[in-house]
Structure 1
């Protein structure tokens, strides 16, 4: 893969010359994402903890902004390395940072509401009660629903659903779409089932968007692995690392703030990352902090800084394999902090992710999203064959952009597009009203 193509500032769905001005094309991408309705809805999508517990903890919106900040640092540092290594004279390190920052900003934009179980809730419904609606579909079409994937939905949001009146959705640059795509393959590839390779664990686009992604891959010159799979864009590794760094460290901070994990445990987990493992005296800055919450914030900042440079080092050490499409690991798994991160992961799983309030949100995800699909899918699928009176009423409640499918597969995509784009509050309210539990007022 070559950087001349990998940094393509051409836009999906747009022909003609690029705009002139002070802002680069990648900065314009960042702004387009910020002002999109899909990004704005992340403010009411749970990251881990229910929003009512504390106004301190992160939503998917604040998480995405923090990931973007880390991504910009990673991209700029790696950009400086690449420019020197490849003797590039027509690009600045900051442009690499802008690409990664924009990709990071959008990394959760396709995730459904109600926590991390949202994807599984949708897949489980289609594997169970909704299986009958998949009859007649091709295997590759069925896979899009039986393995519903937020990353693929995100590509769909960015390249098709936002500003659908224009071709190419948000019409982002090919470089940013490439950096966004962690899993550059389609869903139905038996060869890749249960693959341990990092770019093959999940899928990054549905069958309906195959031609769109192929266009992106060809423009960027991504290495082709299979008829439905490509190697990652090198900057996608940085987007993934930024997310890994943030959710490992920041979920721990949120867990401490909510009393799920003690200060002593939190300090013990962050200390070896924030400081050298054997370092007993961290200096005046830390010792002068007396409030435990402020100490955790200090440790969080120091830890993130150390992990950023660790990710940069891993990228540099594996640069050749990354550029040839042969590196199949996330950057943090090959860093010197992997054991520390695994300790944080294990403790978080027991002390943070398995707490009643978190589990209640995830359990509600199965009930609410399954209940919505139970009403919405038949209304869309049966639109041409004797819809019931109830189905017709539901159909009138669905925004028209989700009801225009020309066949069953496209209408099912309309259902998942609609449901996955909901906020937590809207999903719960819509579910309660469809069930007659709550009636609108006024």
Structure 2
């Protein structure tokens, strides 16, 4: 892979290519990507979607929206630092093509901002609930009506693939989705493969999948434009865009450190015990006098969190640059932080978060509610999608269709597309709206 192709400013939905040196310096193409994401309705719904702790009334606990904003900030720093070093190493990118280090920061920030845009309500339990409906629930009968690959898309419903659909799917008045640059779409794609075949490998890019069957052609076109290496042509399995490693690192840094911070501030993790683990991570950079002057738990945790994030950003940049050739060759098989010198400290922090936060009663109760709500929505709405395809709509089905937004198109052309339209609609709901719709469809509210 080469950086000239990987930094493509071409917008999805356009036929013409754009050159970096032709851009208006006051509002660069990659920065427009960030703006389009942040003004989208799908991004706004993240303000009422669970990060870890559900619907918390505490102002210092993160939602999907605040998490995404913080990941984008960390991503921007990672991109800029890597960009500075890459332009020194490859000066022709500036001298001939006009790229600046801020371009790398803008691409990673935009992709990081969108990294959770496809996640359904109720966090990762929402993904599992959708999958369970098709694998174990009333959706099992659809296996015989769909192709193996189509059915697998639903059984392993994946927020990353759903996010790619949201960013690229055309609809009336919005050709090309959000019309983001190919570079940003490439950096967004952490898992450049389809849901099948699974064929588990040790390569980080094979951990999950990144596009549904409905987006196979879309992804292929983007991958070809960017010059992504083909790891298996028949299986549509590609090497990652190099900047996807930075998007992943930004997310890893934030959920490792900031979920831990939330746990401390909520009292789920004891301060004295927790701070000891953070100090191990930042002991070489801590200002003891400044730290001892801080009077509240929140201030002490905030100070250590800032140092920890800075430490891990520097570490991720160093690992990326050390392995740039392997990354460009598609041969770097792990996440950046998986091979960092602080891996043991990171593992300790994650273990505590899993035990004290992710498995806390509040979080488990959220997951139980999420399963019940999403299963109930799917039971009603998927049946409408199926009946619409087979031309057997009941009067109740017709009433349900009237309350669905105009963007949910149901027809008798494709059963897969009908069901996917329902899953896409549900995935865009906030936690609160999912619960309201669940009660409305169940006749418990008007």
Give the TM-score, by structure 2 length. Answer: 0.94
- Range with bigger deviation, 92-101 or 53-62: 53-62
Does 2:209 correspond to 1:203? yes
Aligned counterpart for 1:392 among listed residues 395, 398, 405: 398
| Residue matched to 1:42 | 46
Unpaired runs of 5+ in structure 1?
Answer: none
| Residue matched to 1:429 | 436
| Residue matched to 1:237 | 245
Listed as ranges, the matches of 1:6-25 within 5 Å are: 6-16=6-16, 18=18, 20-21=23-24, 22-25=26-29
Superposed CA offset, 1:204-249 (max 9, x none): 0001100000011000000001131100000000000000000010
Q: SS where residue 188 of structure 1 aligns? A: coil
Listed as ranges, the matches of 1:285-304 within 5 Å are: 285-304=290-309
| Residue matched to 1:223 | 229
CA contact (8 A) 1:380 1:403 kept: no
Partners of 2:313 and 2:342 lie apart in 1 by 11
Number of equivalenced pairs: 433
Partners of 2:306 and 2:350 lie apart in 1 by 18
How far is 1:164 from its partner? 4.7
CA contact (8 A) 2:23 2:29 kept: no
Partners of 1:426 and 1:272 lie apart in 2 by 42
Partners of 1:215 and 1:361 lie apart in 2 by 39
How far is 1:20 from its partner? 5.0
Partners of 1:437 and 1:355 lie apart in 2 by 29
Listed as ranges, the matches of 1:278-427 within 5 Å are: 282-383=287-388, 384-405=390-411, 406-427=413-434
Q: SS where residue 79 of structure 1 aligns? A: helix
| Residue matched to 2:169 | 160
How far is 1:17 from its partner? 6.5
CA contact (8 A) 2:9 2:17 kept: no
| Residue matched to 1:126 | 134
Give the TM-score, by structure 1 length. Answer: 0.95
How far is 1:15 from its partner? 2.8
Does 2:184 correspond to 1:176? yes
Q: SS where residue 117 of structure 1 aligns? A: helix
How far is 1:105 from its partner? 0.3
Q: SS where residue 352 of structure 1 aligns? A: helix
Aligned counterpart for 2:73 among listed residues 57, 63, 69: 69
Partners of 2:246 and 2:322 lie apart in 1 by 14
How far is 1:166 from its partner? 3.1
CA contact (8 A) 1:51 1:57 kept: no
Partners of 1:74 and 1:6 lie apart in 2 by 17
CA contact (8 A) 1:115 1:361 kept: no
CA contact (8 A) 1:380 1:395 kept: no
Unpaired runs of 5+ in structure 2?
Answer: none
Cα distance, 1:170–1:202 mapped onto 2, change above 3 Å: same
| Residue matched to 1:188 | 196
How far is 1:189 from its partner? 1.4
Partners of 1:164 and 1:352 lie apart in 2 by 43
Does 2:276 correspond to 1:272? no
Cα distance, 1:164–1:365 mapped onto 2, change above 3 Å: farther
Q: SS where residue 254 of structure 1 aligns? A: helix
Listed as ranges, the matches of 1:24-173 within 5 Å are: 24-87=28-91, 88-89=93-94, 90-128=98-136, 129-160=138-169, 164-173=172-181
CA contact (8 A) 1:113 1:422 kept: yes
Q: SS where residue 123 of structure 2 aligns? A: coil
CA contact (8 A) 2:142 2:151 kept: no
Q: Indicate the RMSD between aligned Cα atoms, in angstroms.
A: 1.5
How far is 1:386 from its partner? 1.8
Q: SS where residue 225 of structure 1 aligns? A: strand
Partners of 1:23 and 1:282 lie apart in 2 by 39
